[in-house]
Amino acid sequence: MPDLGIVLSLLVIGVGLLWLLIRSLRGQEVERRVIFVFILVAVAAPILFPVTFQEHATPVVKRLFDFIDSLPAGSVVLVSLDYDPAMAPEVQPMTNAMSRHCLTKGHKIVFMGLWATGQSILMSTLQDIILPDFPNIVEGKDFVNVGYKAGNEGVLNVIVTDFKKMFPTDVNGTPLDSTPIMADIRSCRDFDLILSIGGGRPGAKEWVLFVGDPGNVPIGVGVAAVTAPQMYPYYPQQLVGILGGVKGAAEYESELAHRYPRFAHTDQPGLRMMGPQTLAHVVIMAFIVIGNLAFFRGKKVRRT
Amino acid sequence: MRRLIPLAITFVVGTVLIVSVFTPPLENIERTFTLFFDIIAVFAFFLGGGNLLRVHISKLRRRKQDWGFSVVTIVGFLGMLMIGLFKLGGSGNIAAPVDETGSLFYIIFDAVLVPLQSTMYSLLAFFVASASYRAFRAKNREATLLLIAAFVILLGRTPFGTMVSGWIPEWLSIAQIPNLAIWIMNSPNLAGQRAILIGIGLGVISMSLRLILGIERSYLGDDNA
Amino acid sequence: MDHFALWLAAFFTLGIYSFLYKDNPWYKLCEAIFVGISAGYWVVTLFWDNFHGKFWVHKFEDWWLWIGAALGVLMLMRLFPKIGWISRWALAFIVGATSGLWMMNYFSSNIMRQVQDAVLPLFGTGFEASFGAILANIVVAVGTIAGLVYFFFSKEHKGVFGGTARVGILFLMVTFGASFGYTVMGRMSLLIGRIDFLFSDWLGLIR
Amino acid sequence: MPLTCPTASGGSRSIRNLKPLQFIVCALLVVGSLGQVNAQSDSTILFDSAMNALAPVTSLLAADHKYDNGERIDLSWIPSIDDQPVNGKITGYGVYRLTNAGNPALIADLPSGSSTFSDDNVEPGSDYSYYIVARSAYESAVSVRTAPLSPQREWLNLNRGFLFLIAALISAAVIYFVQSAKRGKKLFVRKISGLEAIDDAVGRATEMGRPVLFIPGIHDMDDVQTLAALTILGRVSRTIADYDTKIFMPVARSLVMTAARETIKASYQAAGRPDAYSDDMVSYVTDEQFGYVAAVDGLMVREKPATVFLLGSFFAESLILAETGNSVGAIQIAGTARPAQLPFFIAACDFTLIGEELFAASAYLAGEPRQLGSLKGQDVGKAVAMVVIVVGALAATLGEAWDISFMQNIYHWLSSVFSSN
């Protein structure tokens, strides 16, 4: 049934574009509203009838994946969720995929956040992703949630030398010194990897400047597409890898599903969103091509 | 006099701030002046908010077209003002921040402003499409480059980028669309950005000097006489 | 309550989207609500953060804050036409502060920093750079110079100078095209988020 | 800062990367070098540490923080050699301070591995002396005390010397050309097409009997781009006053409203038509970014302006506004210094002022010699930047590729000059 739906929508879009092409070649301009309808259909159809495309991890993503994959079991990874609900659709898939990957490999995760508006996300990530998929893991031993602390870069400045000064307890009030994960962790330098996921400020860039560089800790980031170009200058020296936008998430998810088939059937929001994303891109590119064909056609007609 | 005093104020304040960059004992003056600005902005709000009310009340009085919507705006504005200033419907703790979770102020923000903001923001998706349809035409050399760069990047962000150029051999991997997209972002794009940024820096210096030295005074009601 | 909020959000979402077809009362209603409530929201936030938090709380220990308040009061003199011109003093203060402050800020971040980043060995240390990196370095250097030439105001764009300026504008065009293409993706995710909300949270069509 | 170890080649390397044998050698070298620095006080304790007692920190130095307001003293030391990443005994360090030879007070607790601390709670005129206590689970070791030191207030920040010189050079160039233009020297300024179009655009609105819409960005007066927009508004509103066209200007900030009213009023006065001015030309909408956009979009569709100016600081709303303006058939002149938004203006508007052109616009429009002179001064800045980039890149390339030390020196000097900020 979904297959039929998507075939139908693709057909509608295809025929529509063809109709537009013919119209344009005859010299009739396309109205804005028509373009709007096309975008709406291109985005809505693949959400209703999910389509997924094959994704291959590009080097920036693959390097981070391989790094996590090659850490010995029992390594401690700090995952910082630096975003709010508005940004979540784009970057939450990265948090899910990377957390799953770490836990599968037997790494321990410390969750934290720098955004006041992101506190609820920390909770729901744990409730909805960690616990259902990994029934056997134990809080305090396999993961710990230290929550949010106000202070932006100031927080980073402190935890790079003394983690427990900023986070003496986890969100439940358990002293970190009494948890097996945190017993040996004094500062950010003691983590085997830090993952910052977000797209605003404070975020990936601040982690690199305030923690990665002074503390000499490997850092991997997942950022919104708009922020990604600003992160490229830090790769590969200061960053292990970058997941940029939904595409980055999708690449990571497909790599994860490829290496660990048990995840092939979990929800892959990144790959799921790539459907509408790709279709919308294709429609825009088709419009550009049609616009240019019409333009050249018009020029020729005028000349003769 | 009416003109001289403002010009003198601008000159002194601007000069002090420039000097403070090089003078450690003046370092904090920047923070102080920023505080002043924030305080002035609050006072100015009497003028802004008052203007908003005046415009809509006069629409209402004269029963101008769409005056009904003006009523909605006035009610929304005053309602939110009351709720926020008197911290109505919250935990009842007057010392709590106005936007603490669970307060009426926060609930309205969450239920009304958040969906409106994100929907308005998402309109961009439609406008990005209509703008690219219109703007990306190979009218001349400049427009053609604009078009090609945008197209390569667009293609590079979809799985088709890999598909279309997968046949290109490894030694020419730079020509594969995804790599080419990254190269454009990191090289010509970087060059253009840098030239723009340096230009902006110089533009700001020159304009600031014109303002501080009183050469530019159109904002003060003097048509460069 | 949750149910009500859900329907409210859907009402606003569709109301705003209806504008894409044409201006209509539904959109006007959303607009009126948006303007009224958000303006109120900002007055309240400014009042508590700036007036209360930055001035009122510290009014005794930091006497100089009263200068700011005095300037604010000068601003209000606009309400009295006779002495309205006094508000220009406050305005003059703001103009001076903004230009002084940003002049040096832009100078160090936009000029010093960018020039410093632009000065680098094109071939890497001891030719260790790859062919691609060398090409990229040269392109960046040439592009930056040509771009700067384009911005020259006091020289006519003629001859070699004009040619370089034209190369500069080509670089700028590639920059704009690339940034545009790159952002399309992020913009689409926003729409996907809204449509996802309508289909799954509101209508319950997916799962 | 990681603990470092002097090596035979003269450099130093992080102690974490050392193999056991190297580590022993390294430890000996540290001990040796300490002995040289602080021989009289520490040597006995240091060699004791080879047995069992906890070793204190060594080479404790207190120094006035240079070029500040006399509010900071920097401490540095070499951590106790019992402070090791693996099986280290040290649990942390306590920093103690004696003010004016009074009683010692604990001012900071630092984790193991620390080797620097900045005390920014000091004032000029008082003397401060410090010592550090290294702690393990069972014992502690006290370092030597530093000599009393009083923080110095400096009046000039010499770290920023080059920043000052270059800024002064560019400013001097601007002022020089302003002055020489004032004395009547003729200056050439190239055409900026976006600005040439302003008169026509306003004329068009007059002919069509439709208003001009002016949007000064969404930031407040504390953004230079808003100032630039207002200076341009000064020129544009003069033309509008002369043509007797209607202008409306919804704004997102109360202060901008006040300033814009002042500006337009002045233009109308200068045009000799003060009675035609009305405060209703400028109105405040809301500070909220998208609330403002919703209202302006609505206004555009309802009022159908013939000409739209989008000048100032714009964010995501740039394209929403520009596309709506385009859909009502307005001529659009845009300009911003936010590189991320420029592509959208280029795509959707008729004319775009790119970055620097936005700031140059009002001087260009004024056409007055002094203002044009400042543009020429700006070009000097560009020339300096270009020369530095070319010379620097050449020196760097030749120096690094062929290992020519003279060139390398030029390269490193230029790098250090431009990093002084």
ipTM of the predicted structure? 0.87
State which residues of chain C have pLDDT below 50.
none
Whose structure tokens read 């911005």? C151
Dihedral of the alpha carbons of B142, B146, B152, B157, in degrees to the nearest 10: 170
Q: What is the DSSP letter of D304?
A: -
Contact D285, D296 (CB under 8 A): yes
Q: Does a cis peptide bond (omega within 30 degrees of 0) precede residue D339? A: no
- pLDDT per residue over A2-17, tens digit each? 578 788 888 888 999 9
Could you tell me if C108 lies within 8 Å of chain D, comparing CB atoms? Answer: yes
The residue among B202 and C123 whose pLDDT is bigger is: B202
Q: Which of C39, C99, C116 sits opposite D287 (nearest CB)?
A: C39
- Give the pair of three-digit tokens for residue C31: 């607009």
Please choose, from the candidates B27, B70, D118, the residue with its C-alpha nearest in 3D space to the C-alpha of residue C36.
B70
Phi/psi for A212 (5° steps) reads: -60, -50
As a whole-number percent, the residues of chain B with pLDDT over 90 amount to 48
Residues of chain D contacting C13 with CB distance shorter than 8 Å: none
Whether this prediction's pTM lies above 0.80 is answered by yes
Checking if the pLDDT of A32 tops 60, the result is yes
Q: Of A190-199, B78-87, B133-142, C21-30, give the range with the top mean pLDDT.
A: C21-30
Q: How far is CA A292 from CA A21, A31, A288, B136, D133, in A?
A: 10, 16, 6, 8, 75
Identify which of A220, D362, C172 has the alpha carbon closest to the alpha carbon of residue B206. D362
Among D1, D111, D327, the residue with its CB nearest the CB of A187 is: D111
Q: Categorize the per-residue pLDDT at B167 as very low, low, confident or very high, splitting at 50, 70 and 90.
A: confident
Strand ranges of the sheet holding D247-251, from the earlier edge strand across to the other edge = D282-284, D247-251, D212-217, D307-313, D331-336, D351-354
Beta D116-119 vs D73-78: how paired, if at all?
A: antiparallel
- Which residues partner with D162 through β-bridges? none
β-strand partners of D110: D93
Which pLDDT value is given to residue A302?
A: 66
pLDDT for res A226: 74
> Residue C54 to residues A125, A150, B17: CA-CA distances in angstroms?
36, 18, 21
Tens-digit pLDDT profile for residues A97-127: 999 999 999 999 999 988 876 777 787 788 8
- Tell which D residues from 378 to 417 touch A, by Cβ distance under 8 Å: none
Q: Please enumerate in sequence order all residues whose Cβ is within 8 A of that of D240, keeping only pairs 6 or more positions apart, or say none.
A: D202, D212, D247, D267
Paired strand residues for C115: none
On chain D, the residues whose CB falls within 8 A of the CB of C127 are: 401
* Over residues D147-175, mean pLDDT: 90
Distances (CA, A) of D202 to A81, D195, D226, D257, D333: 50, 12, 21, 22, 11
Beta-strand runs (E) in D162-284:
212-217, 247-251, 282-284
Q: What is the pLDDT of residue B157?
A: 77
D5, pLDDT greater than 60: no
Alpha helices in D53-99 (DSSP H): none
Chains near D with 3+ CB pairs less than 8 A apart are A, B, C
Cα D24 from Cα B67, distance rounded (Å):
85
Taking the C-alpha atoms of residue D226 and residue C98, their distance in angstroms, rounded to an integer, is: 10
Tell which residue, D193, D196, D197, D230, has the closest CA to residue D214.
D230
Chain B touched by A278 (CB under 8 Å): yes
What phi and psi values does residue D330 have, to the nearest 5 degrees?
-80, 150
Beta bridge partners of D116: D76
- Per-residue pLDDT reduced to its tens digit, D49-61: 445 678 889 889 9
Instruction: Determine the average pLDDT of the residues in A30-50.
Output: 90
Q: How confident is the model at residue D302 (pLDDT cuts 50, 70, 90)?
A: very high
**In angstroms, rounded to a whole number, what is the distance separating the alpha carbons of residues A284 and C188?**
11
- H or E element that contains D109: strand D104-111
Q: Which helix (H) or strand (E) holds D39?
A: helix D20-48
**Would you place residue A303 in the very low, low, confident or very high pLDDT band (cuts 50, 70, 90)?**
low
Question: Chain C neighbours among B 125-154 (CB < 8 Å)?
Answer: 125-126, 128, 132, 136, 141-143, 145-154
Q: Per residue in A46-104, pLDDT tens? A: 888 887 777 888 888 999 999 999 999 889 999 999 987 767 878 889 999 999 999 99
Cβ-Cβ contacts under 8 Å, D294 against chain C: 16, 30-31, 34-35
**pLDDT confidence bin for D198, thresholds 50/70/90:** very high
Tell me what pLDDT residue D31 has.
Answer: 45
pLDDT for D421: 59
What token pair was written down for A224? Answer: 């919104």
Judge whether B57 is closer than 8 Å to chain C, CB to CB: no
Predicted pLDDT at D110: 79
Shortest Cα distance, chain B CAs vs residue C60, angstroms: 15
Of C48, C103, C168, the CB nearest to B208: C103
Task: Note the pLDDT tens digit of each residue in D400-409.
Answer: 888 889 999 9
Token duo for residue D380:
């000097």
Q: Determine the Cα–Cα distance for residues A247 and A94; give it in Å rounded to an integer.
A: 10
Measure CB to CB from residue D327 to each of A32, A187, A226 and give the nearest one.
A32
Long-range own/partner contacts, residues D33-41 (CB < 8 A, 24 or more apart): D33/D6, D34/D58, D34/D59, D34/D78, D38/D144, D41/D144
pLDDT of residue B208: 95
Higher-confidence residue: D367 or B200? Answer: B200
Choose the closest CB to C145 out of D170, D224, D389: D389
d(CA D392, CA D398): 10
Nearest residue in chain A measured CA to CA from D85? A190
Asked if pLDDT for residue D352 goes beyond 80, the answer is: yes
pLDDT at B73 over 90: yes
Distance of CA A144 to the CA centre of its chain: 22
The Cα–Cα gap between B8 and C96 comes to 9
Q: What percent of chain D has pLDDT over 90?
A: 54
The confidence score (pLDDT) of residue B224 equals 41
- Which residues in chain D are closer than 8 Å to B32, comparing Cβ atoms? none
CB contact under 8 A, B25 and D359: no
Neighbours of A175 (CB within 10 A): 11
Q: Taking a C-beta distance cutoff of 8 angstroms, is the pair C137, C120 a contact? A: yes
What's the whole-number mean pLDDT along residues A176-192?
87
Tell me the CA end-to-end span of chain B in Å, nearest whole number: 15
The residue to which tokens 């945008």 are assigned:
B150
Q: Mean of the pLDDT values across residues D28-47? A: 42
Question: Å from B175 to nearest chain D CA?
Answer: 25
Taking only residues 132 to 151 of chain C, the set having a beta carbon closer than 8 angstroms to any beta carbon of chain D reads: 141, 144-145, 148-149, 151
Question: pLDDT tens for residues D241-300?
Answer: 999 999 999 999 999 999 999 899 989 988 999 999 999 999 999 999 999 999 999 999
Per-residue pLDDT tens over the stretch B84-138: 988 887 666 666 777 666 788 888 988 899 899 989 989 999 999 999 888 888 8
Separation of alpha carbons D313 and D224, rounded Å: 9
List strand residue ranges (DSSP E) for C61-137, in order: none
Question: What pLDDT score was predicted for residue D42?
Answer: 41
pLDDT digits (tens, 9 = 90+) for B33-68: 988 999 999 999 999 999 999 999 999 999 988 899
Average pLDDT, chain A: 85
- Quote the strand ranges of chain A, DSSP E: 76-82, 108-113, 143-148, 193-198, 219-223, 241-244
Question: Which member of A32, A161, A226 has the closest CB to residue D111?
Answer: A161
Rounded to a whole number of angstroms, the distance from the CA of A291 to the nearest CA of chain D is: 14
CA torsion angle B134 B140 B146 B150 (round to 10)? 60
Query: Chain B: residue nearest C67 by CA?
Result: B36
Kindly state the helix (H) or strand (E) to which residue D174 belongs, with its residue range: helix D161-182
Residue of D nearest to C46 (CA): D287
Torsion, Cα A160 A166 A172 A176, to 10 degrees, reads 60
Cβ distance of A36 and B117 shorter than 8 Å:
no
Which residues of chain C from 59 to 98 reach within 8 Å of chain D, CB to CB?
A: 75, 78, 87-88, 91, 94-95, 97-98
Nearest CA in chain D to C118: D389
Burial (CB count <10 Å: 0-12, 13-18, 19+), residue A152 = middle
3-state secondary structure of D273: coil
Contacts of D128 (CB under 8 A, 6+ apart): D62, D73, D97, D98, D99, D119, D122, D148, D149, D150, D151
Instruction: Evaluate if residue B161 carries a pLDDT over 50.
Output: yes
Contact A90 C21 (CB under 8 A): no
Cβ(D49)–Cβ(D143) under 8 Å? no
Contact B147 A288 (CB under 8 A): yes
Q: Which residues in chain C are contacts of A249 at CB distance < 8 A?
A: none
Residue B225 is predicted with a pLDDT of 37
Please compute Rg for chain D using Cα positions: 32
| CA–CA min distance A162, chain D (Å) | 6
Assign A222 a pLDDT band (cuts: 50, 70, 90): very high
| DSSP string of D319-345, one letter each residue | HHHHHHHHHTT-EEEEEES-TTTHHHH
Q: What is the pLDDT of residue D30?
A: 47
CB D174, CB B209: distance < 8 Å: yes
Other Cβ atoms within 10 Å of A231 Cβ, number: 21
What pLDDT digit, counting tens, does each position of D80-134 carry?
Answer: 888 877 777 888 889 999 999 889 998 888 777 788 888 888 888 889 999 999 9
Q: What region does D184 belong to: left with phi over 0, alpha with psi -120 to 50, or beta?
A: left
Give the pLDDT score at A230.
72
Whether residue B204 lies within 8 A of chain C, CB to CB, comes out as yes
d(C-alpha D243, C-alpha C61), whole Å: 54
Interatomic CA distance for residues D105 and D308, integer angstroms: 66
Distance to chain C for A213, nearest Cα, Å:
18
From first CA to last CA, the distance across chain C in angstroms is 22
